[in-house]
């Protein structure tokens, strides 16, 4: 684990969330390129999860780590991704996405709070 892993983790989720909004707007407008943006978003999910696990592994080797909080941080991160995927698929199918958006907002706030609070990297709330 290095600071670069954190940089990559943050770059991947910032880019992923921006492209997620782009893809969801394009699906709503029935833009035929929406699927392509969606595929890039899915690739970014993989980068986010891999860098997330690398950060987790590196951090777990320290005995003073608050393990429970990191466990919750990871689950919340995965929850954000699940909500994003659910919103995109359901928008494409023309189904209601309210439940997905509520989950997305809650999970994102939890992940942001925990990610920034936890000891590695910058931590404005710690």
Under the criterion CB under 6 A, does residue 116 sit at the interface with ligand HEM? yes
Among 11, 15, 53, 110, binds ligand HEM (CB under 6 A): 53
Sign of CA dihedral 27, 12, 74, 114: negative
Number of H helices, E strands in the chain: 4, 0
Closest CA to 20 of 5, 3, 46, 42: 42
Under the criterion CB under 6 A, does residue 80 sit at the interface with ligand HEM? yes
CB contact set of 15 (below 8 Å; sequence gap of 6+): 44
- The one segment of 33-41, 44-52, 86-94, 96-104 that binds ligand HEM by CB under 6 A: 44-52
Under the criterion CB under 6 A, does residue 87 sit at the interface with ligand HEM? no
Nearer to ligand HEM (CB atom), residue 29 or residue 64: 64
Under the criterion CB under 6 A, does residue 78 sit at the interface with ligand HEM? yes
Q: Would you say 87 and 93 are in contact if contact means Cβ atoms under 8 Å apart?
A: no
Q: Which residues of this protein are in contact with ligand HEM, per CB under 6 A? A: 6, 9-10, 13, 48-49, 52-53, 55-56, 59, 70, 73-74, 77-78, 80-81, 111-112, 115-116, 118-122
């Amino acid at each position: 684990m290095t600071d670069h892993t954190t940089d990559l983790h943050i770059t991947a989720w910032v880019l992923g969330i921006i492209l997620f909004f782009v893809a969801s707007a394009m699906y709503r407008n029935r833009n035929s390129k929406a699927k392509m943006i969606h595929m890039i978003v899915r690739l970014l999910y993989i980068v986010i999860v891999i860098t997330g696990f690398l950060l987790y592994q590196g951090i777990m080797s320290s005995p003073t780590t608050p393990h429970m909080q990191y466990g919750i941080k990871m689950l919340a991160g995965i929850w954000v991704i699940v909500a994003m995927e659910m919103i995109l698929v359901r928008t494409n199918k023309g189904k209601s996405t309210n439940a997905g958006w509520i989950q997305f907002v809650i999970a994102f706030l939890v992940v942001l709070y925990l990610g920034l609070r936890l000891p590695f990297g910058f931590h404005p709330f710690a």
